[in-house]
Amino acid sequence: MISDFLLIQKIRNGDNRAGNEFVKKYYPLIYQYCFLHIHDRDCAEDMTQETFVRFFEAVMNRTDIAKVKSYLYRVAGNTVKNYYRKKKELLLEKLPDTVENNAADIEVRLDIERAVACLPDEIREITILFFFQGLKQKDISDLLGIKLSLVKYRVSKAKEVLSKELEVGTQ
């Protein structure tokens, strides 16, 4: 697979295939990130597309993008924040399509989504990036522009709160 740096250079030179390859590489991660914040498939898809439009505008404007993945998450995070600013109301959670139709699996997923939704914003963001997106704590620190020690604290706090919340939900 071509490195992100080379893909960016090809995109800047008008290579549509490089753009398609880039989107194919990062679309699932950005879509999942948006979905975990919004819980609406159509809206998450729109946000993901908007993220890529903004990203490609930055690329074509020769914006210096050192860490592509971090930059994409930053753009997606801003897109999510703008959505909430415009709507000023939380959307009802919707279940994503699942391969399993097992009622117990759906119930567990709902419990997890409810527990994550109850977290304070700064802890919810780190929870999604760490547990659901699989980012390393150092990468989260760089992405959010906060100290690694704060990320570690928030991951620990998220574990503690989610553990209590999910324990209560099972009783």
- Alpha-carbon span 85 to 158, nearest angstrom: 25
1-94 CATH choice from 1.10.1740.10, 3.10.20.90, 3.30.2310.20, 3.30.300.30:
1.10.1740.10
More confident residue, 22 or 111: 22
Mean pLDDT is lowest, of 24-28, 47-51, 106-110, 131-135, for: 106-110
Query: The pTM is what?
Result: 0.62
The domain segmentation of the chain, as residue ranges, is 1-94, 102-171
- The reported pLDDT for the residue numbered 87 is 58
Model pLDDT for residues 27-36, shown as the tens digit of each residue: 999 999 999 8
Distance in angstroms (rounded) separating the CA atoms of residues 148 and 139: 9
Residues 139-166: what's their mean pLDDT? 88
Residue 92 confidence (pLDDT): 34
Q: Which of 82, 1, 18, 2 is nearest to 56 (CA)?
A: 18
Q: Report which of 33, 121, 103 is spatially closest to residue 74, judged by C-alpha positions.
A: 33
> At residue 89, does pLDDT exceed 60?
no
Topology of the domain covering 102-171: Arc Repressor Mutant, subunit A (1.10.10)
- Rounded CA-CA distance 94/20 in Å is 29
Is residue 32 within 8 A of residue 133, CB to CB? The reply is yes
Residue 104 has pLDDT above 80, yes or no: no
pLDDT digits (tens, 9 = 90+) for 34-80: 998 888 899 999 999 999 999 999 999 988 887 888 899 999 988 98
The total number of residues written for the chain in this structure: 171
